[in-house]
Chain A
Amino acid sequence: MGVEIAKTLIIIPAYNEEAKIASVIGGIKEYFSGVGVLVVDDGSNDRTRLQAIEAGAKVISHPFNLGYGTALQTGYKYALIKGYEAIIQIDGDGQHDPSFIPDLFAVIQREEADIAIASRFLETKGIRPESQRYEAPFIRKLGIKFFGTITSLIIRQKITDPTSGYQAMNWRVLEWVSSDKFPCDYPDADVIIMLHRSGFQIREVPVRMFENRDKRSMHSGWKPIYYIFKMFLSIFVTLMRK
């Protein structure tokens, strides 16, 4: 008894990723064939949608840009409507290595946890040392470590990569994240804490991620300051709920 691949959906939120989306979809089909692939095009104004359709994925296009978290949630709602038993979410910019999808899926299939989160910071054997090093800007690494530590303290379980959007979840978590409880702007460490408080089992899986050499608009300007404010406030009110 476990989840079949046919009842699993891969969700790829994408915003203006015409250059990378086809190879991401191709990579998924290479490592995990027989699975449904859904691209949520978050109001891209390039050829992301066409590229994704050509690569063999289903595409939902938002009428305008709603943000990464909302794009994910649209994918969740679709999966719920269609009766999928598990989903795996992977970024559309090629940062997440699709060869680890089977590892994430295995955790859900074997019912070892309700949600599996890929971490680039977990020490592990079997992964070549040079491919383990993820070079992120120092401040960002500091921020991840900081919120990872806070999260680990609160849920009393070691979390090394709280910002990782590379995850697998079963249908019970799917119901939760499709609801209003899911924080659509910057879903991150606060989601992990909320899930834990709702009684879900969380497991981290070591993976390799690639560097993104292009500048990401998600982390520019005032956003890092707002992100820190939002995370603190969100975590604080989460602890006050229930």
Chain B
Amino acid sequence: MPIRNKIVALAFGIGMLLLIIEMVRRRKLREEYSWLWLMTGAFILLLALWFDLLKWITHLIGAVVPSSTIFLFAFLFLILISLHFSVVISKLTDRNKELAQKHALLELEFNEFKKGYPPQGTVLS
């Protein structure tokens, strides 16, 4: 791999890893959401340093130039991370609904309790 490409790829990979770790350090990014980013950064570094691996994968997937492989992986990564976000958002949506409903039910129960109405059933099991 031409030396210029290698330097750019290395800089990009290392920069990405440092950025993610710094965001975790500053508590802006939770560890549980950082693993996919860190794995990707590590993979970029691996490909940049081990050109034969990149050539092998290029051949494996039937591409002609190694840059196609890089683009493919970048694309795959973006799909994966988007999918990951969709899964996380789905879970958060479910929990948000749960929480909102419980809150509303408790609020009514609480107001009735304040007014001294006899309790007829409770939202707690």
Contacts and interface: CB of A to CB of B under 8 A. Distances in A.
Given A185-B31, A185-B32, A230-B32, A237 B98 contact: no
A50 B24 CA distance: 40
Interface string A170-201: 00000000001001010000000000000000
11 contacts: A61-B125, A64-B99, A185-B31, A226-B35, A229-B31, A229-B35, A233-B24, A233-B31, A233-B38, A237-B21, A237-B24
A233 B27 CA distance: 12
Interface of B: 21, 24-25, 27, 30-32, 34-35, 38, 95, 98-99, 102, 124-125
Nearest to B35: A229
A240 B30 CA distance: 16
Q: Top 7 closest A-B pairs, CB basis?
A: A237-B25, A230-B31, A63-B102, A240-B25, A237-B24, A233-B31, A63-B98
Label chain B's interface by main secondary structure: helix
Which of A63, A180, A183, A230 is most buried by chain B, counting CB atoms within 10 A of its CB? A63
A216 interface: no
A127 to B, nearest CB: 36
Given A236-B21, A237-B21, A241-B25, A64 B95 contact: yes
A69 to B, nearest CB: 11
Contacts of B34: 233
A233 B21 CA distance: 8
A63 B99 contact: yes
Contacts of A183: 31
Contacts of B38: 233
Contact of A49 (B24, B27, B98, B125): B125
Interface in A199-242: 226, 229-230, 233-234, 236-237, 240-241
Contacts of B125: 49-50, 61
A226 B30 CA distance: 13
Nearest to A233: B31
